[in-house]
Structure 1
Amino acid sequence: MSTTQAYLEHVAIYVGDIAPHIAFFDKVFGMTVTQVKGAADNPDQVWLLGGIQFIRKEGFAGPEGRFAHLGLVCADMEAAIEAALAHGAKATDQGHNWLLLPDNLYLELMPNKGESVQIARANDRRI
């Protein structure tokens, strides 16, 4: 039995230029910008409606975006952190809610707001 429940709130991706991704996801999927870090005309990071975060990475030369981290909302964040550490996750210097798994998979754990975990999990079309 799991210690707590969670849902994937966002996926963070490194890109060289954020602007074309903002335009694409807005025009194709209606996923508008909900938060900006940095200058509005040349942001360092943006979060889109629907769970995508783009992070501008200087010198990025890949043909596609690169994974940065998974953001998980937890019904009981502290219990999830404790369980994750007991199951081999490592603490990071980014804060107590940031964990590192094997293969350099970073997790950002966030607290539940109201019943958001239960609502998101109940709305999963695959179950």
Structure 2
Amino acid sequence: MNATRAYLEHVAIWVKDIHWHIRFFEDVLGMTMREIDGTVEEPHQYWALGGLQFIHNPRHEGSEGRLAHLGVMCEDLDAALAAAQRYGVSEMPQGRNWLRLPDGLAVELIQAKPAACVAQALAIDPRAET
């Protein structure tokens, strides 16, 4: 049995032109600002409602939109961290809740507050007819 239940809370991607991405996702999909690091004029990072995080990096040498990390909301952060240690993950400098998987993927585990919101999010059927 799983130690905890979780859902993907956000995906963080590196983008060269953060303003273009902000405008596109806001105008096309209505994904407005949830949080910003920096100013609206010069954002370093931008979180949109709906689970996207843009990290401005004009010198990024990978493909546009390269994945930076996965943000996963957990019912029980401590249980998830304990379970993760059995898989050979390593803690990242950002803190004990940041894990580097053996293939290089970074995962940020976030304690849901209240924990019950995980069950509520998982109960949503995105393909329901009504």
TM-score, with normalisation over the residues of structure 2? 0.91
Q: Give secondary structure in 1 for the equivalent of 2:36.
A: strand
Unaligned runs of 5+ in 2: none
2:130 is aligned with 1:116: no
- Number of aligned residues: 127
Alpha-carbon distance between aligned partners in 1 of 2:35 and 2:43, rounded to the nearest angstrom: 10
Distance 1:95 1:31, change over 3 A: same
Amino acid at match of 2:28: V
TM-score, with normalisation over the residues of structure 1? 0.93
Q: Deviations over 1:4-30 (max 9, x none)?
A: 100000000000111011100011110
Query: 1:62 Cα deviation (Å)?
Result: 4.3
Query: 1:98 Cα deviation (Å)?
Result: 0.4
Deviates more, 1:68-77 or 1:55-64: 55-64
Identity score, percent: 50
2:16–2:64 contact (8 Å) kept in structure 1: no
2:106 is aligned with 1:106: yes
Query: 1:126 Cα deviation (Å)?
Result: 6.0
Q: Deviations over 1:19-69 (max 9, x none)?
A: 011100011110001111012201000000000000011412445211000
1:16–1:61 contact (8 Å) kept in structure 2: no
Distance 1:99 1:22, change over 3 A: same
Q: Give secondary structure in 2 for the equivalent of 1:59.
A: coil
RMSD: 1.5
